[in-house]
Amino acid sequence: MRVIQNQKELRLQIQAYQREGKTTGLVPTMGYLHDGHISLVNQSKTACDITMVSIFVNPLQFNDPEDLRKYPRDTERDLSMLEKAGVDLVFLPTADDMYPFGEPLLKMQMPDLTSQLCGKYRPGHFDGVLFVVLKLLQLFSPDRAFFGKKDYQQLAVIKRMAYELSVPTEIVGCSLIREEDGLAMSSRNVRLSEKGRKHATMIYRALKIVKKSYEEGKRDPGELKEIAWDVIETGSLNRVEYIEFVNGATLQPVSTVNDETVVAVAAYTEGVRLIDNLEIGDRE
């Protein structure tokens, strides 16, 4: 496994892969990896000759400096996991390498897809996501890039960006991976206490109850939202930020829940922000 820390060396290696006619897959991450990330690596290894991973905690997408400071990091552990998983290349840049010019003058915005859900509560977050993802796609020129569906809004925004800018990379959305207790895998989960962890599992429990209620005939998003909110906040350490029922393609709120609806949740447990979602029409 080759570890590269600067753009020039990365470009040279990418050019070598291209000369060899290798197909390449990219898994962008912010590190502190878990089995959800490794599932993306495995999908890339199945689909591509070469699997590449980036590890970069992108300061542009943090609207809260304290959240950036507390974001977990363990590069040695991450590299060990990636080598064990059979990754071919890891890009490990610093902020100075990614942004040698300082704060970018270019601003990327997509208000139709980011004015709701996480974008409503994290102003500027998706501007930073769009910038860094486009930059990584430019640097790597991968045939495919793999993103998890836990960040459902992020996936939708990146797919639209790639479509509108004619980015030749195929954006692949991959299934959300859960812990045994149902909690969506996240690098932030490490910050929860044992008690907090138990309370956080109420998020997925609420989503399952919403789906069961839908299958029993309930279609009113207001009624389903109230059910989910009450379930999550039965955990005294939980505070709901939002629960929204949106169309899976447009991310716009729906007046009637149907199979194309996604229910998306953000909640704080012990001050740790957690997100989750469920596709109502998913029969798995």
Q: Give the pLDDT of residue 263.
A: 98
- 33 among annotated binding-site residues: yes
Same domain, 163 and 31: yes
Same domain, 166 and 191: no
Q: Is 65 contained in some domain?
A: yes
37, 125, 135, 211: the catalytic one is 37
- The per-residue pLDDT of the chain, averaged, comes to 97
Same domain, 136 and 202: no
Q: Which of 125, 143, 174 is the last residue of a domain?
A: 174
Q: Is 179 contained in some domain?
A: no
Distance between CA 225 and CA 227 in Å, rounded?
5
Q: What is the CATH number of the domain that holds 204?
A: 3.30.1300.10
Same domain, 228 and 103: no
Q: Which of 112, 142, 174 is the last residue of a domain?
A: 174
Distance between CA 108 and CA 162 in Å, rounded?
13
Classify each residue of 89-127 as buried b or exposed e, where b means 16 or more C-beta atoms within 10 Å of its C-beta.
Answer: bbbbbeeeebbeeeeeeeebebeebbebbbbeebeebbb
- Model confidence pLDDT, tens digit, residues 62-118: 988 999 999 999 999 999 999 999 999 999 999 999 999 999 999 999 999 999 999
Distance between CA 192 and CA 181 in Å, rounded?
14
Q: Is 212 contained in some domain?
A: yes
Distance between CA 58 and CA 124 in Å, rounded?
12
Same domain, 77 and 151: yes
- Identity (one letter) of the amino acid at 197? R
Same domain, 253 and 143: no
Same domain, 157 and 194: no
Residue 34 has pLDDT above 70, yes or no: yes
- 188 among annotated binding-site residues: yes
Structure tokens at 212: 């069961």
- 37 among annotated binding-site residues: yes
Residue 43 has pLDDT above 80, yes or no: yes
Host domain of residue 47: 2-174
How many other β-carbons are positioned within 10 Å of the β-carbon of residue 242?
A: 16
Q: Give me the residues paired with residue 245 across strands.
A: 263
- Model confidence pLDDT, tens digit, residues 161-193: 999 999 999 999 999 999 999 999 999 999 999
Element (H, E) at 135: helix 125-140
- Identity (one letter) of the amino acid at 11? R
Same domain, 114 and 202: no
Structure tokens at 159: 């797919």
pTM value is: 0.95
Residue 284's pLDDT band, with cuts at 50, 70 and 90, is: low
Same domain, 37 and 69: yes
The DSSP code sequence of 202-261 is HHHHHHHHHHHHHHTT---HHHHHHHHHHHHTTSTTEEEEEEEEEETTT--B-SS--TTE
**Phi, psi (5° rounding) for residue 219?**
-130, -10
- 36 among annotated binding-site residues: yes
Distance between CA 118 and CA 153 in Å, rounded?
8
Same domain, 24 and 162: yes
What is the three-class DSSP state of 42?
A: helix
Q: Give the pLDDT of residue 176.
A: 96
Residue 283 has pLDDT above 80, yes or no: no
Q: Is 182 contained in some domain?
A: no
The percentage of residues in the chain with a pLDDT greater than 70, rounded to a whole number, is 100
Catalytic residue check, 37: yes
- 236 among annotated binding-site residues: no
- 34 among annotated binding-site residues: yes
- 187 among annotated binding-site residues: yes
Pick from 206, 203, 174: nearest CA to 188 = 203
Residue 15 has pLDDT above 80, yes or no: yes
Same domain, 15 and 149: yes
**How many structural domains are present in the chain?**
2
Among left, alpha and beta (phi > 0; psi -120 to 50; other), residue 23 is beta
